[in-house]
Structure 1
Amino acid sequence: MTEHARADNEGSGADPGDLERVSDSETETGRKDAGKEEASGSKTRSIGPLFMLLGAARKYPGRLVGAGCALVTTAAATLAIPNFFKLVIDRGFDGGDINRWFEYLLLLVVVLAIGTAFRFYLVSWLAERVVADLRVKVYDNLVTLPPSFFEENNPREISSRMTADTAIIEQVVGSTISVALRNLLTVIGGTIYLFILAPMLTVWLLVAIPIVIIPIVLMGRRVRNLSRSSQDRIADIGAMVSEVLGGIRIVQVFNQQGREAGRFGEAVERSFATAKSRIWFRAILTALAMALVLGALVGLMWRGALDVEAGHITGGTIAAFVITAGLVGGAFGALAEVYGNLLRASGAAQRLGELLATTPAIAAPARPQELPTPARGSIAFQNVTFRYPTRPEDKALNDFSLVIEPGETVAIVGPSGAGKSTLFQLIARFYDPQVGSVRVDGIDLTRADPIAVRDRLALVPQESTLFNASARDNLRYGAWEADDDAIWKAARAANAEQFLKALPNGLDTVIGDAGARLSGGQRQRVAIARALLRDAPILLLDEATSALDAQSEQLVQSALETLMKGRTTIVIAHRLATVRAADRIVVMEDGRIVEQGTHAELSANSGLYASLAALQFE
């Protein structure tokens, strides 16, 4: 969080120790696509969602009360400064002990400095703590949502909410709200003090304030809109960098570096053009604010000087009035300025609140039906029709029925788009079918706890998913309590032992983002070993040997055949050589079963399987 003192006239209303004001330009920089109200389909027009943050801060009442006390102390000390200047002028210069009043003024400055330090620490601590708690709550909820949620909602946007939106909230809780409250106290207390000093001058001041503030607010809205556009352009740049660097191998192998550099340059220029407009309007706004604010102060001083000359008020009174008027006017301006930031933070809080309020579409019923123990491993699809939420017009499965007996090995083959992988999605209950039912051990999955169902599954996906962690943690991901002996046994069965021992730190070696330090075949063998270690009664193999060379495939296939004994196994394969030994082969097309049988039976027919086999083997 960026903290600095604003010493120029734009910092009107800021006390000498205020380290929490953040300039508009610095606030925008680094936020990237934070605050993109358009992404959520609506713009926040109230600060209501910010009360969610107050609820989070209430968990720390001691810090909250301490920050409030420090806030009141600093506001009171700030307002006391003009009164001490009045006493210095009226009493110190009029034959009194001027040193005494300056000593009191120095003591007040010390109180203000200490109070500001406490306020800064406590408010900043609360900001960091609230944001940390919010991030944890949002993430805890996100990992419970089914894959369908992330098909309908861009994971990049969700990642932005988790980082950039929380950064906005952190800045607002740690700075803007504190500034707003302090300036509100300054406005209230300062206005009361002005009426005490010079009632008629205060009336003139109250008339002048709207004349000064309204044009600034109207111009400020235009600046905020341009700021939002600038953030969008910066977000485009960030997305382009992420996309191109993520696919850098494709970019380079097709020699598209020049084209991508040109695209990036155009995006940067668009961002610069938007920034120029924002800077221009910001400059006009600054000039307008200075002219109106300082002009109003000069007018008040002029009127006050006439009253001093006429003997209506003292010189100390007009000095205190001008200083206090400057504080009050500056506080009004600061409130108008921070209101835009509060709206942006409110939008960020609203978007995070939406993630917190999202409930999993796939969840356990109020009274889940327990799966029978011990597990048998039977699977049954009964007249299942299923459409993916993102493709409602296409039937991935169409009146599909299939019964798999405990311990049976069933291979699923067919052309791409036949619905093979959809079977795994439904068995793992990532989705529920629109029509029909899926049962495991005789229990309809919609009546069972998804966690209990998944405890009986082990999966080897077609594209191995590994994490940026140690090899040990990746291997035991499905059986976290497994010891090294069990890990090495599984690695040995998956033909992964040799390359794992060759890693610099063995099982403690961090294998990089998505297993980047391993080859494709090695990543697949780690995924197979992970499934072996899971030791689940139902094994799902989605083209599990596709990334292996012939020798490794033979070794792994042998290990899998040993593993599959006594377990229900479903094998999805495009390479028919891997499914010849299956108890049954199910051939799918357009979401339906078109053939079933053994390899020999299906090869003897003139159906789809025979055609696929002829393409591969002949």
Structure 2
Amino acid sequence: MTNRSTNTTGTAGAASTTAGAFQTGTDRKGSLAAFKGLLPFLRPYRRQFFLAAIALVVAAGATLAIPYAFKQMIDLGFGAAAGAEARSIRHVDATFLALFGVATVLALATAARFFTVSWLGERVTADIRSAVYTHVVNQSPEFFETTQTGEVLSRITTDTTLIQAVVGTSISMALRNILLFVGGLIMLFFTSVKLSSIILGLLVMVVVPIVLFGRRVRKLSRDSQDRIADASAMAGEILNAMPTVQAFTHEHIESSRFKASVESAFGTAMKRIRARALLTMVAIVMVFGTIVFVLWLGAHAVLAGTMTGGDLGQFILYASIVAGSIGALSEVMGEAQRAAGATERLLELLSARSNIQNPAPAQRLQLPVRAANGAALALSDVSFSYPSRPDTLALAQLSLTIRPGETVAVVGPSGAGKTSLFQLLLRFYDPQSGAIKLDGVDIRQLDLHSLRDAIGIVPQDTVIFSADAMENIRYGRAGASDADVIKAAKLAAAHEFIERLPQGYKSFLGERGVRLSGGQRQRIAIARALLKNPPLLLLDEATSALDAESERLVQTALEAAMVGRTTIIIAHRLATVQRADRIIVMEDGRIVETGTHATLVAHGGIYANLAALQFHSVHVTPHEATPQAAA
């Protein structure tokens, strides 16, 4: 079929190509600019942020009050005159009582802040995951031509976890330490203007190179996340193809490839870790070196009598708070740099826009849920190329009219455009020219859900979900009763084998239906389509995986289901299309023959050659048979 290769990514190098799949979506920005994209997820929780801010200010204020209490204790307690011993003891007692009160306030405010910001981190992360997943499932197939599911899953899980750490911890820590830094700096100037001016000037000289180096950490953080996503994409691809991997004894090869990908991610992560470690070391050495130098000056001031011991003690504590806040901010900046890369990746994913959009305003099909006459279908001069192959026409000026209730079979060699026709009918893609009308309405003017609700499809590659048989069939119509599900299963000749399963319809079918045979999976898919009971039915090799007996049963069921509805059948096995009202023969995206089985065989064209190969009704030379052998 035409689109088989377009949706398949080769294993070699696939992960590396997806890493930059979204690079065009958003430009690289600074850390703070990247976090602006999170504002829509943060706004609904302004009240919680306000409460967290109150707790944060109270906790910071309590912390900043501690050094002042120590100054009072030193100057008025330990430094009291000998005749005022009783007064100094009372002052020490009062000071320690006040310290205990401050500690209690600090504990309550810190606990309230921790609970609130942790709740915010979990809540915002859950909202982001839901938004990203909802956005992805509404993308057109074009999106998945260039994006692996492992890449998307990495962004939904790993990247959102990093954002959770920022929202639930880092933002709070950053604001707390900013308050402590500003408050501590003010108190330092209140204690000693001279020493504070010196320490501030030195700190400015220290912070500038730290900020510049932090930009390199951010880039390495983004690269590290990309390499992790590559490894995740590769693992997802291989795990979904384990039977093929094992059949070709490629376990060792794929393990080696994954190990190489993991080692690449590890190498990039180590670059990030080394950069962060160096940044932390430089920050601590330079900041504390500055503070030690200023404290040395303060000690000389005490010895010279220009400063009290309490003032120096208070200055030391406030300097420690300022230095500690700077050290904590450097740690938070490292986490923020890493989360900024994750945020960019998620925003790139959210910025991806599907080319298939609902029109405004959208029309809805006026079709009954159980159509009695089927739906009319008309294609006028439709030309279409896949976005990944714009220079190759999958369909070329195709015109076709199908009457309500008519059964039309589409046959032809692989690559003729048969499956592309189905892709356009479901509006997974839009043609570059021409129009497709369903019951007289251009499908580009229809609401997407209304259009697809009117179409039932049995694909060649059957999808079975990790659920029981009942729910797998009920996927065709979510509100169907158990009785309706069983009725559809009987029509699809699936009831008997389902009943023989250990728990019957409640039997878990395994991931991708691994507990079923190919024919059983196909009958589940047929039952799902019959349960939907749409006016337009698309069958893409619906009986290709069935044995002769099952094919006979399902063919009988399908013939009954086709009554009263429009049906289009894609088939390579011509025995399944002989009773169609009309057979369309396609080649190179064009209709080259039209007629019934008998008239086409008599015509002696492509269909006659295909029939000869399958039914051996006429002699075909090897040269004539070669082009059709792929069919």
TM-score, structure 1 length as denominator? 0.89
| Aligned partner of 2:59 among 74, 93, 103 | 74
- Cα gap change, 1:137/1:273 in structure 2, threshold over 3 Å: closer, same or farther? closer
**Pairwise mapping of residues 38-117 of structure 1 onto structure 2 (< 5 A)?**
39-41=22-24, 42-95=27-80, 96-97=88-89, 98-117=92-111
Cα contact 2:574–2:611 (8 A) shared by 1: yes
Residue identity matched to 1:501: E
Cα contact 1:400–1:593 (8 A) shared by 2: yes
**Pairwise mapping of residues 403-552 of structure 1 onto structure 2 (< 5 A)?**
403-552=401-550
- Cα gap change, 1:199/1:69 in structure 2, threshold over 3 Å: closer, same or farther? same
Whole-angstrom CA distance in 2 between matches of 1:143 and 1:535: 24
What are the superposed Cα offsets for residues 470-490 of structure 1, whole Å, 9 maximum, x if unpaired?
221211112222212221111
Partner of 1:553: 551
**Pairwise mapping of residues 190-209 of structure 1 onto structure 2 (< 5 A)?**
190-209=184-203
Q: Once the 2 structures are TM-superposed, how far is the Cα of residue 232 of structure 1 from its aligned partner? A: 3.7
| Aligned partner of 1:157 among 140, 151, 167 | 151
| SS of residue matched to 2:399 | strand
Residue identity matched to 2:69: F
Taking every aligned residue pair, what percent have the same amino acid on both sides? 51
Partner of 2:379: 381
Cα contact 2:210–2:279 (8 A) shared by 1: yes
Residue identity matched to 1:323: L
Whole-angstrom CA distance in 2 between matches of 1:241 and 1:56: 31
Partner of 2:613: 615
Partner of 1:11: none
| Aligned partner of 1:602 among 600, 603, 616 | 600
- Cα gap change, 1:43/1:208 in structure 2, threshold over 3 Å: closer, same or farther? same
| Aligned partner of 1:127 among 104, 121, 126 | 121
Partner of 2:180: 186
| SS of residue matched to 1:383 | strand
Cα contact 1:425–1:431 (8 A) shared by 2: yes
Cα contact 1:587–1:596 (8 A) shared by 2: yes
What are the superposed Cα offsets for residues 248-305 of structure 1, whole Å, 9 maximum, x if unpaired?
2222222222323333343344444445544544444444333222322221111000
**Pairwise mapping of residues 262-277 of structure 1 onto structure 2 (< 5 A)?**
262-277=256-271
Whole-angstrom CA distance in 2 between matches of 1:56 and 1:234: 25
- Cα gap change, 1:149/1:119 in structure 2, threshold over 3 Å: closer, same or farther? same
- Cα gap change, 1:599/1:460 in structure 2, threshold over 3 Å: closer, same or farther? same
Q: Any gaps of 5 or more consecutive residues in structure 2?
A: 1-14, 81-87, 617-631
Cα contact 1:384–1:400 (8 A) shared by 2: yes
Partner of 1:177: 171
Residue identity matched to 1:242: G
| SS of residue matched to 1:47 | helix
- Cα gap change, 1:415/1:438 in structure 2, threshold over 3 Å: closer, same or farther? same
Whole-angstrom CA distance in 2 between matches of 1:276 and 1:426: 48
Cα contact 2:150–2:236 (8 A) shared by 1: no
Whole-angstrom CA distance in 2 between matches of 1:449 and 1:243: 33
* Structure 1, 396-405 or 227-236: larger mean CA deviation: 227-236
What are the superposed Cα offsets for residues 157-176 of structure 1, whole Å, 9 maximum, x if unpaired?
33322222222221111111
| Aligned partner of 1:240 among 221, 234, 249 | 234
Residue identity matched to 1:577: A
Partner of 1:366: 360
Q: Once the 2 structures are TM-superposed, how far is the Cα of residue 351 of structure 1 from its aligned partner? A: 4.1
Residue identity matched to 2:59: T
What are the superposed Cα offsets for residues 128-186 of structure 1, whole Å, 9 maximum, x if unpaired?
11122222233333333322233244443333222222222211111111111111111
Q: RMSD of aligned C-alpha atoms?
A: 2.4
| SS of residue matched to 1:381 | strand
Q: Once the 2 structures are TM-superposed, how far is the Cα of residue 220 of structure 1 from its aligned partner? A: 3.9
**Pairwise mapping of residues 561-576 of structure 1 onto structure 2 (< 5 A)?**
561-576=559-574
Whole-angstrom CA distance in 1 between matches of 2:257 and 2:133: 34
Partner of 1:329: 323
Partner of 1:582: 580
Whole-angstrom CA distance in 2 between matches of 1:312 and 1:37: 63
Residue identity matched to 2:533: D
Q: Once the 2 structures are TM-superposed, how far is the Cα of residue 336 of structure 1 from its aligned partner? A: 4.0
Q: Once the 2 structures are TM-superposed, how far is the Cα of residue 416 of structure 1 from its aligned partner? A: 1.0
Partner of 1:291: 285
| SS of residue matched to 2:568 | strand
Residue identity matched to 1:302: W
TM-score, structure 2 length as denominator? 0.87
| SS of residue matched to 2:44 | coil
Q: Once the 2 structures are TM-superposed, how far is the Cα of residue 406 of structure 1 from its aligned partner? A: 1.0
Q: Once the 2 structures are TM-superposed, how far is the Cα of residue 80 of structure 1 from its aligned partner? A: 1.4
* Structure 1, 443-452 or 581-590: larger mean CA deviation: 443-452
